[in-house]
Amino acid sequence: MRTLYRHARLATMAGELPWGWVERGALLVDGEQLAWVGADEALPAGLAADAEVELGGALVTPGLIDCHTHLVYGGDRAAEFELRLRGASYEAIARAGGGIRSTLAATRHASEDQLFASAAARARCLIAEGVTTIEIKSGYGLTEAQEAKCLGVARRIGRELPVSVRATSLAAHALPPEFEGRSDDYVDALIDWLPRQQAAGLVDAVDAFCETIGFTPAQTERIFTAATSLGLPVKLHAEQLSDQGGAALAARFGALSADHLEHLSATGVAAMAAAGTVAVLLPGAYYFLRDTQPPPVQALREAGVPMALATDHNPGTSPALSLLLMLNMACTLFRLTPEEAWRGVTVNGARALGLADRGRLAAGLRADFAVWDAEHPREMAYRFGHNPCRRSFFGGIERPRALHP
């Protein structure tokens, strides 16, 4: 089936022009791919299409990409949020069984169907805003069986919902209670699981939390060595709370991305630039934790490091379910330009996942695109608290109207 969509304002995110802008453009969709993209007036003579759709000047962008989420978990931590606002410290809450251990317990207790139902509801919120690709990390099971359960739920979301899912093993998220005081033994265990996760088709990449309250650079290096020996790409939670040299370590392994980066050093910036590692900025966590040190955006910009944006949806530090809100937060909190923010949720979001077939509107790429009730994409970075996504297409197929306002 070849369908021609005409008379649209295109923000292709491709080419040399700002925004890849085409004022009066057209898209030819052939099956799951874009067969032609350009100006209406440049349509090739005799172009064959089975159907033609008039878009009436609507704005069209690539489908959005949320390249860092933790969508699969049990329970929530709203009560802890209230306790913190009443003055309780994170440490006191953790000692009382809260924090990540409460999410760990709830996740382990939940069935696969229960985890799928809650994660799918969260995914639908993102899909409704034009998101067509989501990365989902594990990290709340922390045993071989429980991590496999969470990764299996991520795969199921990709099968049963109209969205592409990239599944990332984040077993090195925290130290489970049964390994208290034995972090090296736990690293040995998760390295042992990894080949079986890969053989079961559960994992596309491997991540770790390299931090004073997470895993050391030496432990992270062991995990990355094991992952890359299996041909799995790596990513890293780096420099969120302190400078552990994680970004430079990740770059040495050719990491797809280093994420958070509030305490990133000049050395880390240079290493990422040399390796082509994407900086994934997570303004939701910065906002929710009331952080005061933003990532070094100007240094990243000057070094030519690609910057992506994501929700970092998780129950403890960023319970956000709006990638559109992240556009505004990135501009207001981190001083990204609207175009930089948009590239962060399209072309650079794709790059952070190692996906070259999406994030732009160009012939030969996936026909993942969104139609907006807006004149220009800068409007979505300017406004917040609304969703102007009118229609969206996943692999050339329009997603159900019920997903859109």
User: What digits encode the pLDDT tens for the residues 90-131?
Assistant: 667 777 777 888 999 999 999 999 999 999 999 999 999 999
Give the pLDDT score at 90.
67
2-62+360-403 is classed in which CATH architecture? Roll (2.30)
Helices 183-199 and 144-160, interaxial angle, to 10°? 40
Tokens 């609304």 label which residue? Answer: 386
**High-pLDDT (> 70) share of the chain, %:** 99
CA distance 331 to 380: 11
Contacts for 284 with CB less than 8 Å, ≥ 6 apart: 311, 312, 313, 318, 320, 325, 326, 329
CA distance 102 to 106: 6
Contacts for 70 with CB less than 8 Å, ≥ 6 apart: 136, 137, 139, 140, 170, 312, 313, 314, 315
Instruction: In the chain, list all ranges with CATH 2.30.40.10.
Output: 2-62+360-403
Question: Pairing mode, if any, of strands 257-260 and 278-281?
Answer: parallel
pLDDT tops 70 at residue 15: yes
pLDDT, tens digit, 9 for 90 and up, residues 129-153? 999 999 999 999 999 999 999 999 9
Helix (H/G/I), strand (E/B), else coil: 346: coil
What count of other Cβ atoms lies within 10 Å of the Cβ of residue 292?
Answer: 7
pLDDT tops 80 at residue 225: yes
CA distance 46 to 300: 46
Helices 144-160 and 112-127, interaxial angle, to 10°? 40
H helix or E strand, kind and range, residue 299: helix 297-303
Instruction: In the chain, list all ranges with CATH 3.20.20.140.
Output: 64-352
Q: How would you write 231-259 as a 3-class SS string?
A: CCCEEEEECCCCCCCHHHHHHHCCCCEEE
- Alpha helix ranges (H) inside 34-177: 78-85, 90-95, 100-109, 112-127, 144-160
CA distance 209 to 216: 9
pLDDT, tens digit, 9 for 90 and up, residues 152-182? 999 999 999 999 999 999 999 999 999 999 9
pLDDT, tens digit, 9 for 90 and up, residues 283-342? 999 999 999 999 999 999 999 999 999 999 999 999 999 999 999 999 999 999 999 999
64-352 is classed in which CATH architecture? Alpha-Beta Barrel (3.20)
Query: What mean pLDDT, rounded, does the chain reach?
Result: 96
Provide the phi-psi class of 373: left if phi over 0, else alpha when psi is between -120 and 50, else beta.
Answer: beta
Per-residue confidence band for 402, with pLDDT thresholds at 50, 70 and 90: confident
Tokens of 278: 């994407």
pLDDT, tens digit, 9 for 90 and up, residues 327-386? 999 999 999 999 999 999 999 999 999 999 999 999 999 999 999 999 999 999 999 999
Cα dihedral 364/367/370/374 (nearest 10): 40
Tokens of 5: 């969509």
